[in-house]
Structure 1
Amino acid sequence: MTMTLHTLSSEIRKEWLEHILPFWGGLKDETNGGFYGQVNADLRIDEQAAKGGIACSRILWSFSAAYRATGHETYLEYARHAFQFLARHLIDRQYGGLYWMVDCKGVPTDTRKHIYNQAFGVYALSEYYRASGDQEALDLAKELYRLIESKGYDAKRQAYKEEFDREWNEQPNEMLSGNGVVAHITMNTHIHVLEAYSTLYRAWPEAVVQESLHNLLSILYHHIFDADRRRLGVFFDKDWNSLVDVTSFGHDIEASWLMDEALDVIGSTNPDYKRMVLDLAYAVSERAVQQDGSLMNEQEGSHLDTSRIWWVQAEAMVGFFNAYQRTGDIQFLEQVFRMWNYTKKYIIDSRPGSEWFWSVDENGRPDQHEMAGPWKCPYHNSRFCLEILNRIEQAGSKL
């Protein structure tokens, strides 16, 4: 190996503190609150762009986590600014839950409620409570948790639902379907509810949340994980029939470490779940890592989507590092090093005042997606930085 863990840690810390966080901090909207909703590919900030519920939550999580890790008051102030906008403008005080979208001033423009969006609210508010001790944040996190469980969980089918209108009437799942199907149930929503509840349990270690985590892990294992193919199903009908033959490599490796985190949080040593975690990591490693060190996006049938997407690289580095910690298999650590070198060369935009490209093609050419938007947020890459830094520090001489 040509790179050391010390070098990896130093480079990632620099990228996080000197590149990623300054970019997002620079989008603070001092006039209308929150953070600007879009930065175009040419780095032009659209100050009039709408602001998404998911983006606001992810920004809130990122700065809250940054403050907890560093103690720098600037990050707490950014987090507080994001929290105030979310609490004042994105929470529906009449029917409950987070709106999908508001305009630049915080007026609701898309009032649909999606369980995926509510989960990110739980995730962010729980982390902000851990950073700030603000009881209002924890109360809102509990409120969203109860809404997810009361409105969004179908106990008969053992599934979390997807999309609702403002008044919580179930609607077709437009926002999280894809690959030519409209899915009644998605893997994506389930892994992010799991992620949210893991953080909520750290902030509010109540038995009901622990039970929800146990239930989610059971759902993932019994309904979503395909043990024969060592992958997660992606889209399902209401009876858990898979709708399309697709393997999402990024989601599989992300889910691998998120499930492992949930097991740690609740103190579970379930051998079936532990095997699922490693099966996913090994399968992605074998099938999707390219010669240049990158991870391709997905496979539908025999068609491979070879685009290299920013969040896929970020989550893969965490997932492979986690697999290395669990197995001691050096191939996983080598893949982290190679993927980081690839990310530095192609995914991180070297233009002053920029961040990470959305994606590049197999030749390393970036697309023209926005640099910031309703889905493009600091959550994946800032979390990658935090996770790798924490894992190296905690493991110390063991690595």
Structure 2
Amino acid sequence: MNTHDPIFNEIRKEWLEHILPFWTRLKDESNGGYYGEVDFSLTVKPRAPKGCIANSRILWSFAAAYRVTGIADYLKCARHAFSFLTKRLLDSELGGLIWMADYQGNPLDTRKHIYNQAFGVYALSKYFRATGEPDALKLAQELFKTIETVGYDEQIGAYREEFDREWNEQPNVMLSGNGVVADITMNTHIHVLEAYTTLYRIWPDPQVRQSLDRLLSILHDRMFDPELGRLNVFFDKNWASLTDVTSFGHDIEASWLIQDAIEAAELSNPKYKQMVLALAHSVSARAILSDGSVMNEEEGGRLDTTRIWWVQAEAMVGFLNAYELTGEARFLELVRKIWSYTSEMIIDPRPGGEWYWSVDGQGNPAGREIAGPWKCPYHNSRFCIEMLLRMERLHSKA
């Protein structure tokens, strides 16, 4: 799989001619940021609230697009998101990023979540890498220090989750699920890892490297179940796992994020690479459906075979990463099958559409929003970028 493969141009076209134009059209020139919702009927909701996570992911996506292509319009879009983040979503008095603003940019939900701070670090680091904007680096560093000083619990050996505006710890409502409220989540930890990996590439500070190594240790020693080949999802403060859930999308996403952290920080512990491959092998063995798609999760032996947009995107990157590490051709075949399925069933063919949230086993799309607080260009635009860069790398090695 290289730049001569038809998939290369198909993915590039999807990214530049479908995904990015959709999000460019959502720029709110009157109130700043990007419109907070596009419903399933493709109706833009100009008065919908604007989530900070969505804004950070849009900022990351356009900064990454500008860095790869040099196209000035993407820089304008990134600057627009950066301005909204710094002027409307940053708490200048108490520090950190709030959860949600209203459509005009006024604070709507002022809770602070470590997951949200991590996405700020992630987006700001990418924006600095693309533009050299010193304020972006300064704010990324400040958020990193907040995550480390307020978010990390030395006694438990984990990152805390949810806080109120004044940084008083609260029950983790926003990042829990499956019927539990978790004190510790795998999801927050893999996205802090992702953020710090990107930060370390622009600011190779020893403390960031130390935190990356510690995160990898947490993932391996506390969250990874080698017998099941998965990362456990929810924990209490005593590190007891709260549910029997296998999140196939998070596992395959984590596999390549872990490898990326290993490479960025030059961490050579072999057990981390073994975890990367164990996750990829497990998802390939347990989560692939007969139509070539990837199911969502398994809970207590019950399969959720919903085909979710971001799971397909992350699986393709994760399996291509596994191929790069092993040379096993079956991982490439999985990428081709998932791309074929995604092209046919997940990508919204309607004029003005993007990707469906999910489809069922008969290919019927869920009636969920096409853009919203959690539905952003991050997973699918990043998939496009990662695939294109990795195929270029494979081509250069051929």
User: TM-score, normalising length from structure 2?
Assistant: 0.99
> What amino acid sits opposite 1:227 in the alignment?
P
Seen in structure 2, the aligned counterparts of structure 1 residues 287 and 116 have a Cα distance that, compared at 3 Å, is same
Q: Deviations over 1:28-48 (max 9, x none)?
A: 000001100000000000000
Q: What are the Cα deviations for residues 299-324 of structure 1, in whole angstroms up to 9, with x where unaligned?
A: 00111000000000000000000000
Question: For 1:304, what is the secondary structure of its paired residue?
Answer: strand
Q: How does 1:106-185 map to 2 (within 5 A)?
A: 106-185=105-184
1:264 pairs with 2:251? no
Secondary structure (helix, strand or coil) at the match of 1:48 reads coil
Alpha-carbon distance between aligned partners in 1 of 2:397 and 2:121, rounded to the nearest angstrom: 34
Q: CA deviation at 1:398?
A: 3.4
Identity %: 65
Match of 1:244 in 2: 243
Contact 2:94–2:166 (CA<8 Å) still a contact in 1? yes
The correspondence of residues 218-237 of structure 1 with structure 2, limited to 5 A, is 218-237=217-236
* CA–CA separation in structure 2 for the residues paired with 1:205 and 1:50: 36
SS of residue in 1 equivalent to 2:197? helix
Q: Secondary structure at the match of 1:205?
A: coil
Residue type at the aligned position of 1:158: G
- What are structure 2's unaligned runs of at least 5 residues? none
Cα distance, 1:237 vs. partner?
0.3
Secondary structure at 1:367's aligned position in 2? coil
**Alignment pair present for 1:23 and 2:12:** no
**Match of 1:42, as an amino acid?**
S
The residue number in structure 1 matching 2:329 is 330
2:48 corresponds to = 49
Q: Given that residues 58 and 81 in structure 2 are in contact (C-alpha distance below 8 angstroms), is that contact kept between their aligned partners in structure 1?
A: yes
Residue type of the alignment partner of 1:334: E
CA distance in 2, matches of 1:367, 1:5: 35
Task: Kindly report the root-mean-square deviation, in angstroms, between the aligned alpha carbons of the 2 structures.
Answer: 1.1
Give 1:384's aligned amino acid: F
Measured in 1, the distance between the counterparts of 2:157 and 2:75 equals 38
Equivalent in the alignment of 2:35:
36
| CA displacement, residues 195-241 of structure 1 (integer Å, 9 cap, x when unaligned) | 00000001111111111101100110100101111100000000110
Q: Tell me the residue number matched to 2:70.
A: 71
Aligned to 1:276: 275
Judge conservation of contact 2:288–2:294 (CA < 8 Å) in 1. Answer: yes
Residue of structure 2 equivalent to 1:394: 393
- 1:55-112 Cα deviation digits (max 9, x unpaired): 0000000000000000001000100000000000000011110000000111001000
- C-alpha distance in 1 between matches for 2:214 and 2:220: 10
Determine the C-alpha separation between the residues in 2 that align with 1:347 and 1:171. 36
Deviations 1:115-144 (A, max 9, x none): 000000000000001111110111110111
1:397 is displaced (CA, Å) by 4.7
Between the aligned partners of 2:152 and 2:383, the Cα distance in structure 1 is 30
Q: CA deviation at 1:4?
A: 8.7
Aligned to 2:289: 290
- Take 1:133 and 1:107, find their aligned partners in 2: how far apart are those partners? 29
Report the AA paired with residue 377 of structure 1: C
Deviations along 1:133-191, one digit per CA (max 9) or x if unpaired, are 11011111011100000100001111000000000000000000000000000000000
Residue segments in structure 1 that go unaligned for 5+ positions in a row: none
Are the counterparts in 1 of residues 3 and 391 from structure 2 also a CA contact under 8 Å?
no
Offset of residue 269 of structure 1? 2.1
Could you tell me the TM-score, scaled by structure 1's length?
Answer: 0.99
SS state of the match for residue 5, structure 2?
helix
Distance in 1, matches of 2:288 and 2:180, equals 27
Structure 1 partner of 2:356: 357
CA distance in 2, matches of 1:354, 1:210: 40
| Cα distance in 1 for residues equivalent to 2:131 and 2:31 | 23
